[in-house]
Amino acid sequence: DAGVIQSPRHEVTEMGQEVTLRCKPISGHDYLFWYRQTMMRGLELLIYFNNNVPIDDSGMPEDRFSAKMPNASFSTLKIQPSEPRDSAVYFCASSLWGPVLESEQFFGPGTRLTVL
């Protein structure tokens, strides 16, 4: 299996521009998670999906952020308009359905976003 795939790996944009990050989870995984990592705040959950349905979006910082999962093999995280404070590494992770105690998450390589 190729693992979790994210694109682009690096994104540099200017303040006010729209940014779209993409994720392909591991085939067969039922859960998909979006995390953001910064030096100041560490690794924090933004949103997660189960069977393509958003379950918890309490970590989404504000209305500028939106996430979709149109099918089991694809998800997007969009920031519009982007701001310099959005600069971070964005990780996508996926896991299999199972008893809660066994739901190990596998992370993608991340997208490093820089907003100038």
Partner 1 sequence: QKEVEQNSGPLSVPEGAIASLNCTYSDRVSQSFFWYRQYSGKSPELIMSIYSNGDKEDGRFTAQLNKASQYVSLLIRDSQPSDSATYLCAVQAGDTGRRALTFGSGTRLQVQP
DSSP bridge pairs for 94: 32, 106
Question: CB of 52 within 8 A of CB of 72?
Answer: yes
Q: Does 100 bind partner 1 (CB under 8 A)?
A: yes
| 19, 110, 113, 115: residue in contact with partner 1 (rule CB under 8 A) | 110
Tokens of residue 94, six digits: 């996926």
Q: Does 44 bind partner 1 (CB under 8 A)?
A: yes
Radius of gyration of the chain (CA): 14
Residue 85: which of 40, 44, 47 has the closest Cα?
A: 40
Residue closer to partner 1, measured from CB, 4 or 115: 4
Contacting range for partner 1; rule: CB under 8 A; set: 20-28, 69-77, 78-86, 96-104: 96-104
Q: Does 107 bind partner 1 (CB under 8 A)?
A: yes
Q: Does 73 bind partner 1 (CB under 8 A)?
A: no
